[in-house]
Amino acid sequence: MSRARAGSVAPLLRVSVAYVAFFGAVGASWPYLPVYYRGLGLSLGTIGALAAASAAVQLLAAPAWGALADRFSRTRLTLPAATLVGVAGALLLANARDLPAIAAGVLVLAAGLAGVGPVLDARAIETLGADRIRYGQVRAIGSVAFVAVAWSVGLLIDRLEVGSLFLVYLPALLLTAAVSATLVRRPTTRAVGVARGTLGLIRSPGMRLFMVGTFLVWTALVAANAFYSIRVTALGGAAQTVGLAWAVGAAVEVPVMWFYPRIAARYGTGRPLVVGAVLFAVRAAVAAAATDPFLLVAIAPIEGMAFGLFYVGGVTFVAERAPSGLNATAQGVLTAVAGLAAIVGSAGGGVVAGVLEIEGLFAVSAAVGTLAAVVIALAVRGAALRTGAAPGRTPIEFLREEIHP
């Protein structure tokens, strides 16, 4: 291997290891924290309120971490600093036994982790440079780690107890901090200031409608996912079954993300976004009718395919429109939209689940997801018209064409 080639591989390898560590941490926590809260005696409404409060912190913290990373474009410390704040929150949460202590842990954890995802994505795109369409392949490595850890932690919890998730969660976060401190920065000259660049991004063609559609997609998904693990256990599934449901979904993400460059080359970036939104709605609709925990496992691939298409497509969509030198800020804005959706989805999901039970919540999520798919189709259609595509189609006609070429 030539020296130049080796020099380009080494930074990308470090980014890949950072994704493995971070999404290993996510795999240890995301499927099981709702069950952990339930085990501490919290009601469904309280769990939803905690998720909403966490999302509110994310809404503010994600753009702030992104702007900080872009403002100090030569330092490597922003990403490990965000991760270490998350470690502090996880330590608080692991030792909390009453609601005030639990809430403190949740909020500190959210403040830190809000900066890890978008800044790590920005570092990956920065490392890839002109080859950023391959972002999905790097991100797929994180999904592999999620699958392995989610399944393994389920087995660990069945042997011990649900609090044992922190035995994996905390070391994985610490490894993320250590590896992220080694990531090479390749700063670019900012064309505009952070505030002006953010406004320019939001005002770019199709972006506002895309953000509305993204908000609706994540709102419906968060509302369903917040209570998915609880529904699996309520139907008689063990912790291992919970881990299996999430691991299967994440396993399907891997090939979708890996082959995203080919998908985008053939169908463009618009059609995968629309299909992803539709698949989220389909999964919620089927979950609403489920009466067996293994049916919830069986439909997990739908969510995995949807997530792979929509998440990678969204990050790529925003990266293509980010002003020079403001990649982290742009990804922070996208994460903030997801944070706002998480507030509405978590709080609203808790209320709906309390009134209509969890299966009713899934039905509402399916309806909101369907509306979201139409809005995303409108955003994509607007972009197509700007590039000279034939006008005159209704949103429903365009949606049908996007799903059935």
Dump pLDDT digits (tens) for 116-157.
888 888 788 777 776 766 777 788 888 888 888 888 888 888
Which is nearest to 402 in space by CA: 222, 304, 246, 278?
Answer: 278
Token pair 């912790």 in the structure block, residue: 239
Three-state SS across 81-114?
A: HHHHHHHHHHHHHHCCCCHHHHHHHHHHHHHHHH
346 C-beta neighbours (distance < 10 Å), count: 26
Please check whether residue 227 is in contact with residue 346, taking contact to mean a CB–CB distance below 8 angstroms.
no
**Cβ proximity of 331 and 209 under 8 Å:** no
In the chain, domain spans = 7-403
Local confidence band at 20 (pLDDT 50, 70, 90 cut-offs): very high
Question: Which residues does 394 contact at the CB level (< 8 Å), separation at least 6?
Answer: none
pLDDT above 70 for 203: no
> Which has the minimum average pLDDT: 31-35, 113-117, 190-194, 319-323?
190-194
344 to each of 53, 54, 156, 227, how far by Cα in Å?
Answer: 10, 11, 33, 14
Q: Contact, 257 vs 306, CB < 8 A?
A: no
**How far apart are the C-alpha atoms of 404 and 111, rounded to whole Å?**
41
DSSP tag of 323 = P
Q: How far, in Å, are 5, 261, 313 from residue 138 at the CA level? A: 17, 11, 14
The answer to pTM > 0.85 is: no
The pLDDT of residue 200: 56
Q: Which of 131-135, 168-172, 249-253, 391-395 has the lowest mean pLDDT?
A: 391-395
For 192, counting Cβ atoms within 10 Å of its Cβ (0-12 exposed, 13-18 middle, 19+ buried), the class is middle
**CB within 8 Å of 307: residues ≥ 6 apart:** 249, 253, 276, 280
Domain 7-403 has CATH 1.20.1290.10: no
Are the C-beta atoms of residues 27 and 150 closer than 8 Å to each other? yes
Burial 63-81 (b: 16+ CB within 10 A, else e): bbbbbbbbeebeebebbbb
Higher pLDDT: 191 or 140? It is 140
pLDDT tens sequence across 226-239: 788 788 888 887 77
CB atoms within 10 A of CB 172: 22
Q: Where are the alpha helices (DSSP H) in 129-227?
A: 135-159, 166-180, 194-203, 207-225
Q: What is the pLDDT of residues 352-376, one digit of tens each?
A: 877 888 888 889 999 999 999 999 8
Of 338 and 376, the one with more pLDDT: 376
**If you average pLDDT over residues 11-34, what whole number do you get?**
87
Reported as a pLDDT band with limits 50, 70 and 90, residue 206 is low
